[in-house]
Structure 1
């Protein structure tokens, strides 16, 4: 019999599954659970036997997109409403043991256009969720933050920067600033109340059935793939030199579920990334061979679009005993195959542009 090394044992699917079994029978609330990440997490939690209440406004996407995400199918209970509605949040948390706070006005460009909405959702809403988590005496809360808090990092360099959790933070956007506030407030409120918490800084999440929104410059895999599928040029803002650490939504869901059971992450802030840099142009070049005749155009880089970097993932590996397993090449191919098999997912506003 061949023995596994410690690293192989830690990364094995069987080991991960055995840890997630601890969630069986747990009562979990996922705010923002009808979005891409939230719905995938809800499906994972239900698959291991947890009871999941999803709290979501259900207005971030058209009904057809929400149907693709499938939160209504997977949730034990769906509560439709705003996280600023204290009575509704209290109702959703009644009897809850665990909370994942993922609800946010999450599009960088949209937050820049409407900082008032970003404040209401990401500041006021988060305050209500945290206060009600304390009142409900939940066992643990996982706050979903973002690599956007790093901005462009702290020093100029010839190559992509590595972002580690303890470095100075320089948010460049309204969205990033709201996430940094949420991190601080989580530590202040839950730490003082003696409730376990952890902060996960997601890097660039992608994967089917992600559908972009008008006027956004996030979600580059979906953006570029859908443009190429429709015969539109793939736009490279600033030439596509921005670096992102792309993490497939399935890996994101796994990391978030593990943060609910792993004691090592209590009180910690953890990067959730692949630890590998990928430029926007790199993504376009992975997509192009799937659509003969694809072409690129260069457009100006928005001021709130950071040059980026990639995650230092040592803390992720040390505290959660796990690493993401889906490569960018495989993940992009999965997305393209899904898109070709699901042409109805192409948003009407983008198809009209192509026509």
Structure 2
């Protein structure tokens, strides 16, 4: 997008806002990154890690990564966010090598059982959809507020060493209203959420700091995920999140790619493999104790730019402009200084490579397009 950010020229959709070039696949930098992550995660060998929401896109990828370093993994998940076929066939929950416990984070007894003997916890379970939370704030409250409170109380009373809370860049809302164009979001800036979902995540952050900030409590770290994407992500009915999946599937079906608000809003697209690595590292990095860190690339990419990356793969594709949904922020991108310093991590998959991966996966996995989307009338 043209324009300026804080008086500086906008970065291109695939450049790096923090002055570092993206790491392409197969580069020496990528190999060093992988060796570095694997070496640091050795600290988790033979430890027991609980992942709430571990049957979802990020959770299942994280559980698989943790198993590769010989951590014992317990997943607590209701398994109702997607149809069974998505959990088993696409996310591979049955093949994680983890102990999968079907349960709710609001169920205190279930939480207490999975925490028994646990060394680390990643709390990723949430009603994680902006549109769904807007429609049903009561469900959002129960899952994201009540469930987090139960988890925090039980973690505080346990022998867990550290809890990693999964939060969201949604807490930034539209950022500073005085700034025009894409904004870089800093962890210490004023937070102005514009949706029920964002409010619930901000509350979870505050409550985590409040309850796990004593000398006798487990450590905590907060990760603010930016726009996570990557296979095997599939959209949900009535949602406007997960734009790479939405736009790719619409194009594959020969339907117009819908650009809400014209697609001028920007996102910091961070690949699920990178997110899983960052989350695992947050369990072991000393500098993350008590820290709040963005998990993003530092690259602003407009929704339209994503569509333009997808379009060449589907020659009949075209765009249609639709209204901007309620609660959908104009967006921004991550300041990545903190994740480089405290997490000692940078993402390795840039948006061009990540979208290419997703489109190739979708072409090879046509059954991934959900039946409800295939049956839905074209826009």
Taking the aligned partners of 1:266 and 1:294, their CA distance within structure 2 comes to 47
After superposition, the Cα gap between the structure-2 partners of 1:172 and 1:101, relative to the gap in structure 1 and judged at 3 Å, is same
Taking the aligned partners of 1:327 and 1:161, their CA distance within structure 2 comes to 19
Matched, 1:43 2:68: no
- 1:294-313 alignment runs, 5 A limit: 294-313=317-336
Taking the aligned partners of 2:372 and 2:96, their CA distance within structure 1 comes to 29
Matched, 1:186 2:208: yes
Unmatched tracts of structure 2, length 5 or more: 1-27
How far did residue 322 of structure 1 move? 1.3
How far did residue 159 of structure 1 move? 2.6
Equivalent of 2:272, from 235, 245, 249? 249
Query: What SS is found at the alignment partner of 2:320?
Result: strand
Taking the aligned partners of 2:218 and 2:105, their CA distance within structure 1 comes to 20
- TM normalised by structure 2 equals 0.90
Runs (4 or more) in structure 1 with deviation over 3 Å come to: 7-11
Equivalent of 1:79, from 101, 111, 119? 101
How far did residue 11 of structure 1 move? 5.8
Taking the aligned partners of 1:98 and 1:134, their CA distance within structure 2 comes to 12
After superposition, the Cα gap between the structure-2 partners of 1:198 and 1:160, relative to the gap in structure 1 and judged at 3 Å, is same
Deviation string, structure 1 residues 55-105 (Cα, Å, up to 9, x no partner): 000000001110111123114211101110000111111100000000000
Matched, 1:165 2:187: yes
Q: Which has the larger displacement, 157-166 or 120-129?
A: 157-166
Q: Which residue of 2 aligns with 1:3?
A: none
Equivalent of 2:74, from 53, 56, 66? 53
How far did residue 10 of structure 1 move? 11
Taking the aligned partners of 1:59 and 1:10, their CA distance within structure 2 comes to 37
Contact 1:160 1:243 in 2 (8 A): yes
- TM normalised by structure 1 equals 0.96
Q: Which residue of 1 aligns with 2:163?
A: 141
Matched, 1:64 2:85: yes
Q: Which residue of 2 aligns with 1:280?
A: 303
Matched, 1:293 2:316: yes
Q: Which residue of 2 aligns with 1:203?
A: 226
Relative to its length, the structure with more helix (as a share) is 1
- The root-mean-square deviation of aligned C-alpha atoms, in Å, is 1.5
Q: Which residue of 2 aligns with 1:213?
A: 236
Taking the aligned partners of 1:10 and 1:180, their CA distance within structure 2 comes to 36
Taking the aligned partners of 2:83 and 2:221, their CA distance within structure 1 comes to 32
Contact 1:230 1:354 in 2 (8 A): no
Q: Which residue of 1 aligns with 2:368?
A: 345
Deviation string, structure 1 residues 196-238 (Cα, Å, up to 9, x no partner): 1000000000000000001101000000000000011100000
